[in-house]
Amino acid sequence: MPTPTRDIFYSISNDFNNIWNFPHVIGCIDGKHVRVMCPKKSGSMFYNYKKYFSVVLQAVADAIYKFVMVEVGGYGKQSDGGTFRASDLYQFLNERELDIPSPAYLPNTQVSVPYVFLADEAYPLKTYLMKPFGGRDLTVDQQNFNSRLSRARKTVECAFGRLYSKWRLLSKSIETDIQLADKIVKTMCLLHNIIIDKEGFERNLTSCSGITIHIVGYLNASTERCADRIVLRRINRVLGRDAGGVTG
């Protein structure tokens, strides 16, 4: 799977804005446990909290459920955040080795903000990684922001759901060594993308792994501006934290 170019990131961002009404998103990241046989002499490293042996498939998905970047082989006992911190993607992002577009204006604003990946609460908050507001006592604006982020982030969950529904091998343990299991999973991810290229993406109603998402179209101008302000405040908060030396 080739490393995304700047033009590919621009294209992904445009799709997220047009389909999911969330600007400046260049992918959604999550992890998925893949069942494997217990590797020899591995102790509990591959034994996960669900009480089976697994490797972690960490993936970045675009707006139409295709995999943009995948890594396989993370220890099953690791959390999603721990897998991310141990991944090549984390290193590439921190060392700025990916050709991510430069910060640009959000729609209908004169404020320049970075392009970001979306993730859930398990991941660290970074200038390149956006996650929901945490806690229970959230304002209405914060709840609306979380809802909007969650809707866009479901693309990676849908990608996993479709992958597992196509390849029944993933519903049981892959009975081979870890190295070959990694290659098998990566191959399935490539075939998953090819199938989407051939079959296309249903824009009006999408469903995956028990999740049904209705595409509601563009927000009205007033609501869109309000949502953009929430995005701005969230990004500015991250920029302020990083500038102050907090690295997560």
pLDDT in tens, 71-108: 997 888 888 888 889 899 999 999 989 999 999 988 88
Q: Provide the domain limits for residue 214.
A: 6-243
- State residue 208's pLDDT score: 57
- State residue 230's pLDDT score: 54
State the Cα–Cα distance between residues 169 and 34, nearest whole angstrom.
10
- State residue 220's pLDDT score: 41
What are the φ and ψ backbone dihedral angles of 47, each rounded to 5 degrees? Answer: -95, 115
Residue of higher predicted confidence among 219 and 176: 176
SS3 203: coil
pLDDT tier at 43, thresholds 50, 70, 90 = confident
Q: What is the pTM of this model?
A: 0.78
Q: Is residue 179 part of a domain?
A: yes
SS3 185: helix
Residue 9 clears pLDDT 80, i.e. is over it = yes
State the Cα–Cα distance between residues 231 and 142, nearest whole angstrom.
10
- State residue 245's pLDDT score: 35
DSSP string computed for 8-64: HHHHHHHHHHHHHS-TTEEEEEEEEEEEBPPPTT-TTTTB-TTSSBEEEEEEEE-TT
Mean pLDDT estimate for the chain: 81
Q: Is residue 95 part of a domain?
A: yes
Residue of higher predicted confidence among 21 and 214: 21
Q: Is residue 174 part of a domain?
A: yes
Matching residue, tokens 């990676």: 156
pLDDT in tens, 51-67: 888 889 999 999 999 99
Residue of higher predicted confidence among 22 and 109: 22
Q: Is residue 185 part of a domain?
A: yes
Residue type, 166: K
User: Per-residue pLDDT averaged across 190-200, rounded?
Assistant: 90
Residue type, 25: V
Q: Is the dihedral of CA 160, 117, 187, 49 positive or negative?
A: negative
Count of domains forming the chain: 1
Q: Is residue 202 part of a domain?
A: yes
- State residue 205's pLDDT score: 40
The percent of residues above 70 in pLDDT, for the chain, comes to: 81
- State residue 202's pLDDT score: 64
Q: Is residue 248 part of a domain?
A: no
Which of 112-116, 137-141, 189-193, 200-204 shows the lowest per-residue confidence on average (mean pLDDT)? 200-204
- State residue 236's pLDDT score: 53
- State residue 203's pLDDT score: 52
pLDDT tier at 233, thresholds 50, 70, 90 = low
Q: Is residue 71 part of a domain?
A: yes
pLDDT tier at 6, thresholds 50, 70, 90 = very high
Alpha helices by DSSP H, listed for the chain, are 6-20, 80-85, 88-94, 140-166, 178-199, 221-243
Q: Is residue 47 part of a domain?
A: yes
In angstroms and rounded to an integer, the radius of gyration of the C-alpha atoms of the chain is 18
- State residue 149's pLDDT score: 94
Residue 212 clears pLDDT 50, i.e. is over it = no
